[in-house]
């Protein structure tokens, strides 16, 4: 099956084009569409069979719950109950945008969406194409990233085509995504705000908006919220993170030289300010350390480039964990898999 590809200019949206995608959603189809974070694979969140299709084509395990995407004209009271005051505050402040809130669901949300959990993850995206699609479909969209499970999320339509091109109905092509990393996921313990996954809205911004915030222990490196898998967002190449701090250059070169001696094809991923340290090695630059937004938007594209060029190992230098740097490092550690920082010397 070849998907219908619909080109849409996010700055000049032709409603007629979006209508076809919305019709596919209403008839139970699967539609890839751009959000401000990454491309999503959407299905009618209220139709369990359509949602089952998402899990099937992504090969996503059924215990990994999906985020439900809503538009501003929807009464979210139909989908969630017992909304904490701080959830309201965060939604008022950051919606539409890359923030997902996990709240007690109503009966209307099928169990398959939440992997049987009592809470549902809800987000109102800001990308104009996503907003128009959800509105025209007239139903919330369950939408994980439009890639094969555990692979780097798609930040351009070509990534979607290469992962899922044979198995979905429609791709709405709105060009490259803006942020390039997934949304921030927050849960609530009473009024306490728990950061379950760092993402597009920084922890600093959330702390400015509400009082009681904690980044879940292991939120950066390990598995915490239900359905979060220890190895995720990962390229085919093995990712070896190199912690920041004294001797980072020496540690990076030690790993690089060990791999070179073994004949392993490897590359180094670092910020532009450090690229000149690694003359004579294959280097891909994420961006300037002064521009974490740029680094975030390029991360998954760089992972995919390493794969396309058949690298076996990516040596990934850590960057400061403030602002979007926290989400970037979370994805690098997830790509590396559990205990990655304990195995700097790849066997």
**Is 230 an interacting residue with respect to ligand AMP (CB under 6 A)?**
no
CA distance 339 to 245: 19
Main-chain dihedrals φ then ψ at residue 297, nearest 5 degrees: -70, -20
Reported in sequence order, the residue ranges of the chain that DSSP labels E, i.e. its strands, are 4-7, 31-34, 39-44, 67-69, 99-104, 119-123, 141-142, 170-173, 184-189, 192-197, 213-215, 238-242, 266-270, 283-285, 313-317
**Is 145 an interacting residue with respect to ligand AMP (CB under 6 A)?**
yes
- Other C-beta atoms lying within 10 Å of the C-beta of residue 280: 7
Q: Site map for ligand AMP, 89-128, x if CB under 6 A?
A: -------------x-----------x--x-xxx-------
Minimum distance of ligand AMP from residue 103's CB (angstroms)? 9
Q: Which are the contacts of 75, defined by CB distance < 8 A and separation ≥ 6?
A: none
In the complex with ligand AMP, which residue's Cβ is closer, 86 or 145? 145
**Is 196 an interacting residue with respect to ligand AMP (CB under 6 A)?**
yes
Minimum distance of ligand AMP from residue 226's CB (angstroms)? 5
**Is 183 an interacting residue with respect to Mg ion (CB under 5 A)?**
no
**Is 32 an interacting residue with respect to ligand AMP (CB under 6 A)?**
no
CA distance 190 to 192: 6
**Is 227 an interacting residue with respect to ligand AMP (CB under 6 A)?**
yes
Minimum distance of ligand AMP from residue 12's CB (angstroms)? 28
Among 42, 65, 157, 174, the residue binding ligand AMP under the rule CB under 6 A is: 65
Q: Site map for ligand AMP, 6-25, x if CB under 6 A?
A: --------------------
- The CA-atom distances, in angstroms, between 124 and each of 38, 263, 293 are 14, 48, 21
- The CA-atom distances, in angstroms, between 174 and each of 188, 200, 266, 298 are 34, 19, 33, 17
**Is 145 an interacting residue with respect to Mg ion (CB under 5 A)?**
yes
**Is 64 an interacting residue with respect to ligand AMP (CB under 6 A)?**
yes
Q: Which are the contacts of 190, defined by CB distance < 8 A and separation ≥ 6?
A: 84
Token digits for 137? 């479909």
**Is 184 an interacting residue with respect to ligand AMP (CB under 6 A)?**
no
Q: Which are the contacts of 333, defined by CB distance < 8 A and separation ≥ 6?
A: 220, 221, 241, 340, 341
Among 84, 96, 128, 144, the residue binding ligand AMP under the rule CB under 6 A is: 144
**Which does residue 163 bind out of ligand AMP, Mg ion, none, counting CB within 5 to 8 angstroms by kind?**
none
**Which does residue 238 bind out of Mg ion, ligand AMP, none, counting CB within 5 to 8 angstroms by kind?**
none
In the complex with Mg ion, which residue's Cβ is closer, 163 or 317? 163
- Under 8 Å between Cβ of 235 and 310: no
Among 151, 228, 253, 284, the residue binding ligand AMP under the rule CB under 6 A is: 228
In the complex with ligand AMP, which residue's Cβ is closer, 143 or 283? 143
For 69-82, b/e burial (b = at least 16 CB within 10 A) is bbbeebebeebbee
Residue of 40, 65, 61, 62 whose CA lies nearest to 137? 40
Using the contact rule CB under 6 A, the part of the chain among 8-16, 60-68, 246-254, 328-336 near ligand AMP is 60-68
Using the contact rule CB under 6 A, the part of the chain among 17-25, 45-53, 167-175, 222-230 near ligand AMP is 222-230
Interacting residues with ligand AMP (CB under 6 A): 64-67, 102, 114, 117, 119-121, 144-145, 182, 185, 196-197, 225-228
Interacting residues with Mg ion (CB under 5 A): 144-145
């Amino acid at each position: 099956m070849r998907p219908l590809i619909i080109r849409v200019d996010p700055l000049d949206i032709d409603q007629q084009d979006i209508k076809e995608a919305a019709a596919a959603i209403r008839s139970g189809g699967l539609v890839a569409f751009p959000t401000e974070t990454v491309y999503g694979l959407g299905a009618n969140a209220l139709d369990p069979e359509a949602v089952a299709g998402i899990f099937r084509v992504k090969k996503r395990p059924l215990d990994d719950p999906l985020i439900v995407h809503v538009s501003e004209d929807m009464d979210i009271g139909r989908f969630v109950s017992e909304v904490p005051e701080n959830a309201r505050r965060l939604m008022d402040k950051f919606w539409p945008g890359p923030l997902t809130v996990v709240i007690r669901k109503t009966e209307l949300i099928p169990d398959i969406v939440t992997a049987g959990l009592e809470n549902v993850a809800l987000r109102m995206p800001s990308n104009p194409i996503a907003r128009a699609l959800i509105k025209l479909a007239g139903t919330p969209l369950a939408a994980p990233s439009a890639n094969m499970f555990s692979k780097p999320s798609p930040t351009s339509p070509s990534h979607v085509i290469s992962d899922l091109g044979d198995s979905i109905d429609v791709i709405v092509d709105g060009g490259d995504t803006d942020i390039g990393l997934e949304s921030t996921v927050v849960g609530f313990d009473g009024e306490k705000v728990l950061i379950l996954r760092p993402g597009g809205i920084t922890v600093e911004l959330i702390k400015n908006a509400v009082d009681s915030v904690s980044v879940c222990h292991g939120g950066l490196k390990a598995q915490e919220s239900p359905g979060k898998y220890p190895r995720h967002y990962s390229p085919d190449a093995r990712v070896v993170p190199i912690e920041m701090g004294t001797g980072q250059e020496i540690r990076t070169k030690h790993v690089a030289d060990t791999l070179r001696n073994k004949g392993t094809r490897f590359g180094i991923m670092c910020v532009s300010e450090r690229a000149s340290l690694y003359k004579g090695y294959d280097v891909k630059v994420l961006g300037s350390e002064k521009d974490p937004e740029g680094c975030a938007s390029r991360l998954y594209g760089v992972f995919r480039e390493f794969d396309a060029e058949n690298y076996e190992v990516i040596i990934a230098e850590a960057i400061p964990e403030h602002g979007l740097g926290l989400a970037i490092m979370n994805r690098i550690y997830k790509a590396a898999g559990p205990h990655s920082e304990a195995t700097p010397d790849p066997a």
